């Protein structure tokens, strides 16, 4: 749910009779609850504290709306949680929003990164290459967003 903005929009403008907003981070769940209250939507939106995998709903749902993709579809590691929600709570014939995604990839030459990784090779007779390999793994794991 994050701050709950998508839940608020579904309640106010999407025609939802009931919205369950799951949020694992206690601080964000509290913020979402405050936004629900300030917008007078307590009768429609229920903020649930916890991971999707640990929660129970009293009913199945018609639609699952989730912004799970982060920077590049898999960054926030939420896809498995969304699929768990789908398998546990979505009614047959229900709708997932979004329901499809594409990842486009292109080869790149990161000359600066390669030089940095290689700089951890041999120093005064010591093999420091694992430091460079760890840095390369970290850089590949975490998105490099530059504006």
Annotated active-site positions, please? 67, 76
Cα distances from 92 to residues 82, 85, 127, in angstroms, run 16, 13, 58
CA angle 120, 123, 124 (to 5 degrees): 175
**Distance between CA 81 and CA 61 in Å, rounded?**
16
Helix (H) / strand (E) containing 61: strand 61-65
Q: What are phi and psi of 120, to 5 degrees?
A: -90, 15
């Amino acid at each position: 749910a994050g701050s709950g903005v998508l839940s608020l929009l579904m309640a106010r403008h999407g025609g939802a009779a009931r919205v369950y907003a799951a949020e694992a981070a206690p601080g964000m769940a509290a913020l979402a609850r405050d936004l629900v209250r300030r917008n007078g939507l307590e009768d429609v939106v229920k903020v649930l504290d916890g991971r999707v995998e640990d929660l129970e709903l009293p009913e199945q749902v018609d639609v699952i709306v989730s912004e799970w993709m982060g920077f590049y579809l898999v960054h926030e590691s939420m896809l498995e949680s969304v699929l768990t929600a789908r398998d546990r709570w979505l009614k047959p014939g229900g709708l997932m929003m979004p329901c499809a995604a594409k990842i486009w990839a292109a080869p790149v030459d990161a000359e600066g990164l390669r030089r940095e990784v290689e700089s951890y090779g041999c120093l005064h007779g010591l093999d420091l290459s694992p430091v460079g390999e760890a840095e390369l793994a970290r850089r590949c794991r975490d998105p490099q967003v530059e504006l």
